[in-house]
Each structure stands twice: as structure tokens, then as C-alpha cells.
Amino acid sequence: MNILDGKKTAQFYKDTIAAEVAALRAKGSRKPHLVAILIGSNGASETYVASKVKACEQIGFESTLIRFETDVTEETLLAEVHRLNETADVDGILVQLPLPDHIREDTVTLAIDAEKDVDGFHPESLGRMLLGLPGYVPATPKGIMMLLDYYNVDTAGKHAVVIGRSSIVGSPMSVLLSRNSKPGNCTVTLTHSRTVDLRYHTLQADIIVAALGKPLFLTADMVKDGAVVIDVGITRMKDESLSKGYRICGDVDFDAVAPKCSWITPVPGGVGAMTIAALMQNTLEAFKRRIKV
Ligand code: NAP
């Protein structure tokens, strides 16, 4: 069993981006600028946004965090998004999900200028991904592809089973794995909560991407020997033995599944770290397009 080390790999990509930014800065360029909007004070969202801001600092990006109270109106939020769309030195805009119930996620996603959509959630970004055109690929699936690429995991002709069909993880993951590219060229089965006999599918999989948000869901009896297992899940589980009162749990029963795998991602230190690296990569691309490098 080998570990797909997201933390180490993300550092490699962040170092590469930092070197590119330093070279551009040496030629007189400004810094790439990412703006994150955070609504309310959800603990997990606070943590994710803090990691994104920290990554920006590490690699020489400018970052701005804009906070709104939970009761912010959709109108106010949209006005801020429109202002950022028009601000010349803002390259990337992300609105941290989930949003409060009274704000429509689709409306906010559509309001972000597609040129600044570094999360890759805008229909234009998703359409471009489907057509194989240049654009922003959602950060989590993109990060997984970067991880498979870094470790040169053989994916061509393999059967990949993706568990979960969300528009930000499972569905784009299925598209990327089935693309005619390296990594890619998988035969993909996309599964969800209505899939009958999921275990029948996962037992045939050479590659499993677990992205359903159910802690320890994928058990050893669902995985064939030699499989590659990617664990996307992040759930906070109560744990009084830790000072923070919780631990992060993936969708895979790591201890039982890992011995059967050829490759597996840990949680934490797997996909989460790669998501941040992919977001930084998208922001660098946005910046380079804007300054026309
Ligand atoms: P989501 O929008 O809630 O989607 C979950 C998907 O899982 C749905 O398609 C659902 O099916 C499917 N599902 C639920 N129960 C199932 C079951 N028993 N069998 C098969 N499929 C089942 O979640 P998401 O946003 O994709 O996130 C999934 C997980 O990844 C969460 O833990 C989230 O925190 C984590 N995540 C991690 C990162 C990272 O950077 N590591 C980034 C994003 C998300 P239906 O469509 O039929 O309801």
C-alpha cells in the first residue's frame, strides 16, 4: 500500500506557483489577488477560508477576506460580487459554501464573472470543462487529477467508480476521469444514493473516489485488492479527547481499507490539501489571463 500524500504534493505545486509569481513580480507585475467572501461563522467554513488565505500568503498572492453576517440579504451579497467583478486588480472571487438558506446558491454562482470564477462552479466553467476548452476546473476534482498526475498513477483503461454526483465534486470528477487525457481515459461509473447494490460496483473498481460525506462509509468488503482509493469526505466527528473537541473523518474506513489498496489518500493530508493547491493554480491562471502573460 502506498500513500497519495496530498500535503507533500500540494506543497510541490504551491512551490512551483510561488516561483512563477516571483518571476512575474521580478518583471514588475503586481501580485495575483484572490477575494474570498465568508458569510456567518460556520466553524468548518472558517477553517477552509483560513487555509485559503494562508496559502495565498505562502505563495505570494494578495488575498482579501470579506465577511458578512448570516442575515445579509442576497441583494447586498450580489452587489458586492458585482463590485468585485468590476474591480480591476481582483483576479479571483470565491464565495464560501454553504450559504444561509435565504440566499440562492445558483444566483450567486451565476453572478460571479466567469473570468474570475476560480472555484469553477459557474456554468461557463463547467461547460468549458465538458468541452475540453481552457477554463477553470472545480478545485477538488482538479486537485485529485493533479495528485494522480504527480504520482503517475496509471488510469488509462481502468474502471473508476465515483460515489456521489454533486456538481462540485462527483460529477466533474467523472468527466475528468473519462476524458481522453493523462490522467484520464477511465471507464467511469457514477453512483449516488439511488444506486442499487453499490458494493457490486465498487468491488469491480480499479479506482474508487468516495465523495458522499458519510464518515467511514467505504469498508474493506467493498474494495478489491490493488484498488486506488481517493477519499474526498470531510466530516467533523465529536471527539472529547482532542482539545478542539472533534476530529476530521473521511468517507473511507482507512485502517481496514488501506491494506488492500495499491494507493490511498489519507484524511487529513489528502484531497483537502490538494483542493487548496488547485484553487491557487486556478487563481494564477486567472491572473495570467488578465495581465495577458
Ligand atoms: P453533497 O452535495 O452532499 O453530495 C453527496 C453525494 O453523495 C450525492 O450525490 C448523494 O446522492 C451521494 N450519496 C449520499 N449517500 C449515498 C449513499 N449511501 N450511497 C451512494 N451515494 C450517496 O456533497 P459534496 O459537496 O459532493 O461533498 C461530499 C463530501 O466531500 C463531504 O464530506 C464534503 O465535506 C467533502 N468535500 C471535501 C472537499 C475537500 O477539499 N476534501 C471539497 C468538497 C467537499 P444523491 O445525489 O442521490 O443525493
Q: What is the mean pLDDT of residues 211-228?
A: 98
The amino acid present at 137, given as its one-letter code, is: V
Verify that 258 and 187 share a domain, yes or no: yes
Q: Could you tell me the three cell numbers for 44?
A: 468548518
Calpha distance 49→140 (Å, rounded): 15
292 confidence band (pLDDT: 50, 70, 90): confident
State if residue 213 touches ligand 1 by the CB under 6 angstroms criterion: yes
State if residue 208 touches ligand 1 by the CB under 6 angstroms criterion: no
Verify that 100 and 167 share a domain, yes or no: no
Verify that 104 and 146 share a domain, yes or no: no
Residue 120 belongs to a domain: no
Which listed residue (52, 116, 142, 158) is catalytic?
A: 52
Indicate the SS3 state at residue 242: coil
Mutate to test the pocket of ligand 1, among 212, 219, 251, 279 (most ligand atoms within 8 A of CB): 212
pTM reported for the whole predicted model: 0.97
Calpha distance 265→263 (Å, rounded): 7
Q: What is the CATH number of the domain that holds 172?
A: 3.40.50.720
Q: Which residues of 140-166 are buried (b: 16+ CB within 10 A; e: fewer)?
A: bbbbbbbbbbbbebebeebebbbbbbb
223 confidence band (pLDDT: 50, 70, 90): very high
State if residue 267 touches ligand 1 by the CB under 6 angstroms criterion: no
The pLDDT tens digits for 172-207 are 999 999 999 999 999 999 999 999 999 999 999 999
Mutate to test the pocket of ligand 1, among 97, 191, 192 (most ligand atoms within 8 A of CB): 192
Protein residue with least CA distance to atom 12, ligand 1: 164
State the pairing for strand pair 235-238/246-249.
Answer: antiparallel
Q: Could you tell me the three cell numbers for 260?
A: 488492500
Q: What is the mean pLDDT of residues 233-245?
A: 93
Note the pLDDT of residue 76.
98
Please give the residue range of the domain that contains residue 79: 28-115
The pLDDT tens digits for 59-88 are 999 999 999 999 999 999 999 999 999 999
Q: What is the CATH number of the domain that holds 96?
A: 3.40.50.10860
97 confidence band (pLDDT: 50, 70, 90): very high
Residue 130 belongs to a domain: no
The answer to whether 283 and 92 are in contact (CB under 8 A) is: yes
Number of domains forming the structure of the chain: 2
State if residue 236 touches ligand 1 by the CB under 6 angstroms criterion: no
Note the pLDDT of residue 46.
93
Residue 143 belongs to a domain: yes
The pLDDT tens digits for 25-38 are 999 999 999 999 99
Q: Indicate if 52 belongs to the active site.
A: yes
Which listed residue (14, 96, 158, 253) is catalytic?
A: 96
Mutate to test the pocket of ligand 1, among 42, 49, 193, 271 (most ligand atoms within 8 A of CB): 193
The pLDDT tens digits for 132-159 are 999 999 999 999 999 999 999 999 999 9
Verify that 254 and 161 share a domain, yes or no: yes
Q: What does 1-64 look like in DSSP terms, one character per residue?
A: -EE--HHHHHHHHHHHHHHHHHHHHHTT----EEEEEEES--HHHHHHHHHHHHHHHHHT-EEE
Q: Which residues of 122-136 are buried (b: 16+ CB within 10 A; e: fewer)?
A: bebbbebbeeeeebb
Note the pLDDT of residue 293.
78
Q: Mean of the per-residue pLDDT values for the chain? A: 97
Note the pLDDT of residue 88.
96
| Ligand 1, atom nearest to 143 Cα | 40
18 confidence band (pLDDT: 50, 70, 90): very high
Q: Indicate if 96 belongs to the active site.
A: yes
Residue 94 has pLDDT above 90, yes or no: yes
C-alpha triplet 253, 258, 247: angle, nearest 5°: 40
State percent of the chain over pLDDT 90.
97
State percent of the chain over pLDDT 70.
100
Verify that 256 and 183 share a domain, yes or no: yes
Q: What is the mean pLDDT of residues 103-129?
A: 98
Note the pLDDT of residue 211.
98
The answer to whether 263 and 226 are in contact (CB under 8 A) is: no
Residue 251 has pLDDT above 90, yes or no: yes
Distances (CA, A) of 99 to 78, 96, 105, 179, 220: 13, 7, 7, 31, 35
